[in-house]
Structure 1
Amino acid sequence: MKGWSAGAPAVVLLAAAPLFLAPYATTTLTRMLVFALLVASLDLLVGFAGLPSLGHAAYFGVGAYAAAWFTKNVTTTGPVPLVALAAGAVAAAATGWVAVRTHGVFFLMLTLAIGEIVAQAAETWESVTGGSNGLYGVPATRIGGAPLDVAGVYWYVLAAFLLGFVALWLVSRSPFGAALRGIRDNEPRMRALGYATRWYKYAAFVIAGGMAGMAGGLLAAQQRLVTPADLGFTTAALALLAVIIGGAGSLWGPCLGAALVIVVRDVVGPDIDGHGPLLLGLVFILVVYLLPRGAAGIRVGVRR
């Protein structure tokens, strides 16, 4: 109940934001929500299962391309986020069985390789993805027959983000989530207790991939363009950076980290001659030394 009571005011503020913000600021906030859902899905792997991934953007991109293609060729009013979720989950299921057989640095490097393979496929499969030009001209999302404006897209993304975040929160608070934390802390002991740890990690990988795909579907609805850069190493690295800055294992903390990354990249970066990555690097160093548990660790310290 404490978590819900603390989150309710934030939801109210987010819902009312377009009423007070300019269109550009509303669009920036929309991008924050899209990236936050991607980062929260990655936190399920990093913070709960102990599986740091550098290829998670691959499923984000698969969901974005699937949603863009579905919107262009099927309908603009259907359950596009669900199509993107299914595409991300299928891609994660196809690649995760190999990935979860490894540990530590080997898992990190294998996911990086998977991400690069998917990004290269997006570059070369021009008939479907548009190649390096991307899949552009995605029709505007429609509800009730009318295309959504900037505020409408924001509320659409916000609703999908809340559904995705609540789903991840329920998974993390379930017995399944408790088992993932046990595997993260001591996998040999969990195996000795009779848990099929590899299957648990595989299930977490698929769930996280599905939620990343859903975030990609929201990206396609927001920017109406999908490019290979959206599923490349840079996106994956920024997502992992946001998890670390926000605090792995809290879900809401990485969402704050995602907001900070978008602000530095899209708002502050252009004003400092494109040195946003340098600023993010400095923030990362400060967090590692001053806040080992990330932004979420501040709240834990206050409680103690």
Structure 2
Amino acid sequence: MTALDAPAVPGGAAAMSPRVPRGRGGLVAAAVLVVLAAAPLFLAPFATTTLTRILVFALFAVSLDLLVGVTGLPSLGHAAYFGAGAYAAGWVSINVTAAAPVPLLVGAAVGAVAAALTGWITVRTGGVFFLMLTLAIGEMVQQVANTWEGVTGGANGLTGVPSVRVAGAPLANPGFLYWYVLAVFVIGFVLVWLVARSPFGAALRGIRDNEPRMRAVGYPTALYKYGVFVVAGGVAGLAGSLLVAQQRLVTPADLGFLTASFALLAVIIGGAGSLWGACIGAALVILVRDALGPSLDGHGTLVLGAVFVLVVYLLPRGAAGLQLWRRRGSS
């Protein structure tokens, strides 16, 4: 039996598809998008740059949530594909062209290929074994970035990346760069949302909830997990290409354990399985780490740890568990 011939997911696609706001939710999403688009008109350059970093990290967290929340595959090595996409986009910008969308496409392709090369074995494990295997892959990729000086710049990182160019003009202005990142973020978010809402996404939720049952009714679960692993790697690579466009350098730390753990923390704080929740978690992580961290004498990670403990105890479903958009009494 092939994946196309597989029977419907038990309970139907609607039973396992993520709950999303209807009617009013679309208006809220449009209003949020309008506010985000207008933000550079009212914010100082530093605040605009911080918001740009939030969008980059939010897209990275959304790609991880496709694994963690939708499929039930907690990964500690997802930053490997994020960093691989960043390095690839940076190298292409330096040696070939910085004209969009070339670095974007290269970053996404490299992230997907890296995930395809490592995912075939990884997805055949589960639980703690999957977690540790992804961690090992992330550490190996970081070691490659540290030692392959001719391509990655070694421990010093890949520097001298030129500004991304749109229609021949470099996006050196923080506001113009922000709008560029926002446009790509929206495209990436919609792509992940469509995957999560599709019959393929419904099958992934079935695998998350009861993989033995899904296998019993004929689903090739390893193939489904491999497919979503590659898609998530591609979106992470896309986010990595935005990272290098924003900070114009890439270092081995960008694909290391700390970056991966921050992304997983953002997903948990926001609520695993909720794409917009992952964005909220990413915003909190970047604000505490980058904006408030210097004023906290470098104790930003300590604050994030305290927030994580509070969320685990008070909001087991994360920020998305508040479900502020849903009317009381609705099912």
Compute the TM-score of the two structures, normalised by the length of structure 2.
Answer: 0.90
Q: Which structure 1 residue ranges, 5 or more long, are not aligned?
A: none
Distance 1:57 1:172 in 2: 21
Work out whether 1:71 is the aligned partner of 2:103.
Answer: no
What residue number does 1:125 align with?
148
Work out whether 1:184 is the aligned partner of 2:208.
Answer: yes
1:141 to 164, 169, 172: 164
Distance 2:245 2:26 in 1: 28
Deviation (angstroms), 1:5:
2.3
Work out whether 1:239 is the aligned partner of 2:285.
Answer: no
Deviation (angstroms), 1:272:
1.1
Distance 1:36 1:98 in 2: 27
For 1:282, the aligned partner's letter is A
Greater mean alpha carbon deviation, residues 244-253 or residues 4-13: 4-13
CA offsets 1:153-172 (integer angstroms, 9 cap, x no match): 10000000000000000000
Deviation (angstroms), 1:173:
0.2
Distance 1:47 1:146 in 2: 39
Q: Secondary structure at the match of 1:55?
A: coil
What residue number does 1:197 align with?
221
Deviation (angstroms), 1:269:
1.1
CA offsets 1:57-86 (integer angstroms, 9 cap, x no match): 000000000000011111111422111110
Provide the aligned C-alpha RMSD in A: 1.0
Deviation (angstroms), 1:268:
1.1
What residue number does 1:42 align with?
64
Distance 1:288 1:229 in 2: 27
What residue number does 2:7 align with?
none
Distance 2:66 2:193 in 1: 9
What residue number does 1:295 align with?
319
Q: Secondary structure at the match of 2:125?
A: coil
Instruction: State how 1:135-284 maps to structure 2 within 5 Å.
Output: 135-148=158-171, 149-284=173-308
Q: Residues 84 and 240 of structure 2 are in contact (CA less than 8 Å); yes or no, is this contact kept in structure 1? A: yes
Deviation (angstroms), 1:4:
2.6
What residue number does 2:113 align with?
90
Q: Residues 100 and 164 of structure 2 are in contact (CA less than 8 Å); yes or no, is this contact kept in structure 1? A: no
Distance 1:144 1:207 in 2: 29
Distance 1:116 1:179 in 2: 31
Structure 1 or 2: larger helix share? 1
Distance 1:302 1:17 in 2: 27
CA offsets 1:196-255 (integer angstroms, 9 cap, x no match): 000000001000000000000000100000000000000000000000000010100010
Work out whether 1:109 is the aligned partner of 2:156.
Answer: no
Deviation (angstroms), 1:267:
1.0
Give runs of ≥4 in structure 1 deviating > 6 Å.
none
Distance 1:301 1:256 in 2: 14
Distance 1:276 1:169 in 2: 31
Distance 1:52 1:223 in 2: 28
- Gap change, CA 1:300 and 1:48, over 3 Å in 2: farther
CA offsets 1:269-295 (integer angstroms, 9 cap, x no match): 111111001000000000000000000
Q: Which structure 2 residue ranges, 5 or more long, are not aligned?
A: 1-21
What residue number does 2:14 align with?
none
Q: Secondary structure at the match of 2:293?
A: helix
For 1:183, the aligned partner's letter is I
Distance 1:145 1:94 in 2: 35
For 2:54, the aligned partner's letter is M
Same amino acid, percent of matched pairs: 71
Q: Residues 100 and 166 of structure 2 are in contact (CA less than 8 Å); yes or no, is this contact kept in structure 1? A: no
Compute the TM-score of the two structures, normalised by the length of structure 1.
Answer: 0.98
